[in-house]
Amino acid sequence: MNFYNKFLKLCIEVGEKPSAVAERAGLSRSQVTRWKSGKGITDASVVKIANYFGVDPGSLVSDDSPIIYLNHEVDEEELEFEKELQIMRDDPATRSLLRSGHGLTKEQIDAVTVIMENMRRGNGSNY
């Protein structure tokens, strides 16, 4: 996830518009437009946005890193879950699989999980 998408996610979480957040953080509204179009962001701007939201600046600019909130202890399980969520967001096949399973009962999901685990192990005859 790129900087702008992380910035937008944070804005949505707090219920604020990106341009309003930028201004409150001491930046201009036009910078938000630049970020949205994929233009770079300065280190100083990253720090201002990170301070505004209370997050780690490095996690905002690293495409591979989930957003790390500084107002609570970092939980390794939570970080791993965030990485898995990012994979799901980025992979169309995984998104399709998740959508296909929407509405299944717990028992049905458990059965599908067993089938998938067998497929992954190369044990195709057991499903």
As a whole number of angstroms, the longest Cα–Cα distance in the chain is 61
- Residues 86-97 have a mean pLDDT of 81
CA distances from 70 to 13, 85, 95 (A): 15, 20, 30
Helices (H) and strands (E) in the chain, counts: 8, 0
CB 69, CB 54: distance < 8 Å: yes
CB 60, CB 6: distance < 8 Å: yes
Q: Token pair for residue 116?
A: 């998938």
Domains of the chain: 3-61 (1.10.260.40), 76-126 (no CATH)
**pLDDT tier at 126 (50, 70, 90 boundaries)?**
low
**pLDDT tier at 6 (50, 70, 90 boundaries)?**
very high
- Residues 80-97 have a mean pLDDT of 79
Integer Cα distance of 64 and 9 in angstroms: 15
Task: Say yes or no to pLDDT of 75 above 70.
Answer: no
Task: Say yes or no to pLDDT of 85 above 90.
Answer: no
Across all residues in the chain, what is the average pLDDT?
85
Q: What is the pLDDT of residue 77?
A: 76
Task: Say yes or no to pLDDT of 78 above 80.
Answer: no
